[in-house]
Structure formats: structure tokens, C-alpha cells
Amino acid sequence: MNLVVYCGEVYSWVNMCEKVDRKDFTLLNYDTVEKWLKENGEGAYLIFGTDVIPVTAFNYPEVPLSDTPLFQFMKRGGTVIWAGDVPFYYSENGGKKVESKLNPFPFDTLNFADKVMFEDPQNSLVGELMEYRPVESWRPVQGHPSLIPVSYKLNPQGSITLYYSTWIYRYGKGSFVRLYDSKYVDFKYLLSLPERMAKLNEGIRIRNFRKLRNLLLKFPKFKVMVLIGDNNVGKTSVLEALATLSDRLFEENAKRIATYRGLTQPALPSPTLPFPELVEAYVDGDYSLRVVPPILRNPLESLIVFSTVIETGGPTQEVLNEVSKVLSNFDPNVFYLYLGAGGIRVLSLDRTDRRLLDQGQGYRSIMRVLLDYAMFKPKVLLLDDVEGFALHPNMLEKMFHHLLEIESRTILTTQSMDVVYYLAKVSLERDFRDPVIYVILKGDDQEVMTAQEVWDRLPFEDPRFTALAKRRGRSSV
């Protein structure tokens, strides 16, 4: 791994360079850091062992911010790791520490006094995935859309303000990782961070929502995820919680959840349709958060689809034209969809002309999924109770092929062995090149399996029952 440590002649709070084994790491100094930054980028990591920025790496404002060696390095995909005092507040110039008070970020540090601001910040979902251990926070920033929090302070002293103690700032193809805003730094953890970031999984965390007290799901990158578990384990609640992370699609999700739950007030938030206390998602490198009181950061535009809530209104003719082309993969007899008397009508090659409402449930279910995707273009499609869509196995396979080809990711719930089997079968037909995962839930326990792992087990066992049991058995040996 291309990892180097910068060691300057001056520092503010921390000097970790005395702890570095020079045999294991390349050390840069004031004179060599500029050349290294200009020659490296994607896949390279620079840890600042002293918390003062050298002007040889960051010569702003003499040159534009984007032209400084450090920001050029990040633009090409490099990662900068910083701990200690405020980044860029002090500069090193010719062996001297200068109070330059520079701030290249679109947000401000909140505390410059020599005192702790928060004693007990907690990990965000990303902090949990990185296995970070928060310490007291001296230099937090106010929550900002450009940041991925690693640790934060929620609602201090009854306010609805969100503070980030440590964070990740994306720039170009790279990032600036700010950890340990404190005089205490775990240097061993900093040295392990590049490997942790290279292997960083995705995840979901939901707190106090229906049965889910504190659910933390960790999983690899996926195209389609299947949630499997006992009745009343909270599979649908996971989808509903994720639906509250939406902004553009928020009202649509609220209406559907209210209809599904038989509630009279369709708007969120409301006394009858509560939010989770907290819901976070880290998917495809993007972080989303909603906290009660209702703070929303970086919405995840997801759309929930219930098998029992079938709607047929709303699409334009342009959307119907798009769906007509895709629907022919499911039904070769389809010629054209259009808006007519009684809503959407299906014109077939055999010259029949029928209302969509007169079609069978499975046909209408497929149409609902296709229409929803064409109309709303969600980043994540949430399909609840797929067996309730009443699809023939042939149609089920075609739907899975479709879900693996669209731009959106899909999270679906099921109790059905048909769904488990045919999705694994489709994955096999596609040489397992699409990341399909199964998440088996049972109480507070969980297990993640790939489609290939499920396919290999299917001839001998039902993973819905045996996966977690076998893991518990192995752990007790």
C-alpha cells in the first residue's frame, strides 16, 4: 500500500513522528512532500504526523486552492489523513510555525479555545464501519452536506443542532479524513486507516423504530439485497425507515406507508406515522442521515413499493412509452401503453385493448415496478414482500434480470423460497458478476451471504433456517 507519513519541524498539539518505525514507512519532510504529492494520487495515503501544514504542500493563497499540491493530490484520488489541531490553521514556513488561520473548506470550526467542547461524541454509522473509537472533542464543526461524519454530537443541551467531531471531506476523486480533534491521538489506528478505508463496507443503522431498537447492518457493496427473516423481525420496518431518508420522494413514500399501515394522515411527520429516532445509510460511497427532531442530511432518494398497494395513475405518455419498450421483455405480445378511458390501457399485438386494472395481479405488479422506476428514478428501489406480487417463476426471473440491469439498487424483503432460489439462479446465469447479497435477520443477530454462497447451499439446506444456526454453532465450538 502506498502510505507515507509527513513529519515537520513544528507542531501544535501532536507529534506522532517519534512513534513511527522508519523501517516500515516512508517519511516525508518539508522539502520532499511537494515532489511526492505531485507524483502520486489514486490509491496513495498521506498521514500528517505533525498537525501544521507545510507551505510546500499548501501554498494558498499564492496560487488558487485547486492548484495547490495537496488539493491536486486529492483531486487525482489521493487521501489525506489529519489528526490534532484545526487543519490549515497553522502553517510551517522554513521551520517556523505561522498562525495563518486558513480555511479551504465550505464550513467553519466552532471552537478555538483551549478546552474540550464535547466529552462524549458518538460514532456515526461510518465510524462504526471503520471501528473508530471517539475521544473528547475540542474542534468540532457544524454538520454540513459536504461532509461524511465519522463521529458526531446529537442535539447537545436540547438543541436540534448536529455537530461533527470527526469527518470525511470528498474532493475530486480523493478525500480529506479528519480524525481525533483532540490532544489524544491513537497513532496505531491512524496507520491502520488506509486498509480500513480500502475495505470499507456499506451499512444501515436504525434506532427506535417499531421493533427495531438499535439495528446495525453491515454488508458489502450490492446491486440487489434480499432481507430474509422470521415474521415480525422488522424487515418491512427497515424499508420504511430507509424511505424516510428521501427528500424529493418523501411525500410519495409517506402516502404509500400511510396506505399500507391503514393510517388516516398521509403526511410525514405526524403522530400516527412516526419517524425512527435515527436512521443512517452508507450506500455507494454516499452517507445519509435523519434524526428526530427532523434533521435530514444528504437525502437518499429511495422509493418504497408494497405488494398490497397497487396504484395506476400519474404517468405521462412519455413515461408509458419508455415502459412499453421494457414491458415487451416480460410480455412479447405488448404493443403499446397509453392513457385512455379508465386509466392506463394495454394495446397488444393480437389487437386486444384492455385496462391495466383488468389485468391479473402479477401483471399489474410488474407494471407497478416498471412505472415507479420510470416515473421517479430512485437511487434505491425498496420492494416489500416480493412473493405478494404473485409472479410466475418465469416472470420472477425476468424481473430479477431487469433489477440487475437498471441504474438503481434494489432492497427487497421476502419469506419465499422461490424468491431466494430464482434470484440465486439468475445470478448464476449472469456468472455472479452482479453483487447480489442475502441478509438473514433473527432478533439482534444477522448473517450476510452472497448469491453464490446461497446457490451452493440450496441443494442441501434452506439458508433461511440454517445460516444463523450454523454460525452460532461454529462460534460455540
Based on the domain organization, do 193 and 237 belong to the same domain?
Answer: no
Question: What is the phi/psi pair of residue 451, to 5°?
Answer: -60, -35
Q: CA of 294: how far to CAs of 210, 239, 244, 262, in Å? A: 17, 18, 10, 23
Based on the domain organization, do 196 and 227 belong to the same domain?
Answer: no
- pLDDT band for position 73 (cuts 50, 70, 90): very high
- 289 falls within a domain: no
- 21 falls within a domain: yes
Exposed/middle/buried for residue 211 (C-beta within 10 Å: 0-12, 13-18, 19+): exposed
- pLDDT band for position 357 (cuts 50, 70, 90): confident
pLDDT at 147: 96
Based on the domain organization, do 192 and 322 belong to the same domain?
Answer: no
- Which helix H or strand E contains 438, and what residues bound it? strand 436-442
Residues 442 and 468: beta-carbon distance below 8 Å = yes
Q: Are strands 380-384 and 409-414 parallel, antiparallel or unpaired?
A: parallel
- Which residue range is the domain that position 105 belongs to? 2-200
Based on the domain organization, do 17 and 75 belong to the same domain?
Answer: yes
Q: Are strands 380-384 and 302-306 parallel, antiparallel or unpaired?
A: parallel
The reported pTM is: 0.91
- Where is the domain boundary, 200, 234, 260? 200
- Tens of pLDDT along 85-118? 999 999 999 999 999 999 999 999 998 989 999 9
Q: Are strands 343-348 and 353-355 parallel, antiparallel or unpaired?
A: antiparallel
Residues 283 and 222: beta-carbon distance below 8 Å = no
Q: Which of 80, 79, 74 lies closest to 51 in space, CA to CA?
A: 80
Is the pLDDT reported for residue 72 higher than 70? yes
Based on the domain organization, do 189 and 253 belong to the same domain?
Answer: no
Domain count, the chain: 2
The CA distance from 87 to 166, in Å, is 12
- Where is the domain boundary, 200, 228, 258? 200
Positive or negative: CA dihedral 107, 111, 113, 119: negative
The CA distance from 56 to 58, in Å, is 6
Q: Are strands 90-93 and 96-99 parallel, antiparallel or unpaired?
A: antiparallel
- Tens of pLDDT along 235-290? 999 999 999 999 999 989 988 998 888 765 544 444 345 567 899 999 999 999 99
CATH code, 427: 3.40.50.300
* Of the listed ranges 199-208, 260-269, 296-305, the one predicted with least confidence: 260-269
- Tens of pLDDT along 132-167? 999 999 999 999 999 999 999 986 665 668 899 999
Three cell numbers written together for 143? 454538520
Positive or negative: CA dihedral 138, 143, 144, 145: positive
| Coil/strand/helix, residue 372 | helix
pLDDT at 414: 95
Based on the domain organization, do 22 and 100 belong to the same domain?
Answer: yes
Three cell numbers written together for 124? 456515526
Amino acid at 85: D
The CA distance from 426 to 65, in Å, is 49
Based on the domain organization, do 172 and 240 belong to the same domain?
Answer: no
Based on the domain organization, do 235 and 194 belong to the same domain?
Answer: no
- Mean pLDDT confidence for 206-213: 89
- Tens of pLDDT along 423-454? 999 999 999 999 999 999 987 788 999 999 99
Most confident stretch, 15-29, 185-199, 337-351: 185-199
- Where is the domain boundary, 166, 200, 234? 200
Based on the domain organization, do 238 and 177 belong to the same domain?
Answer: no
Three cell numbers written together for 300? 437518499
CA 261: distance to chain centroid? 27
Edge-to-edge strand ranges of the sheet holding 302-306? 302-306, 380-384, 409-414, 224-229, 436-442, 445-450
- 282 falls within a domain: no
Residues 201 and 8: beta-carbon distance below 8 Å = no
CATH code, 57: 3.40.50
> Please, how many CA atoms are within 13 Å of residue 441, restricted to the half-sphere of its CB?
26
| Coil/strand/helix, residue 158 | helix
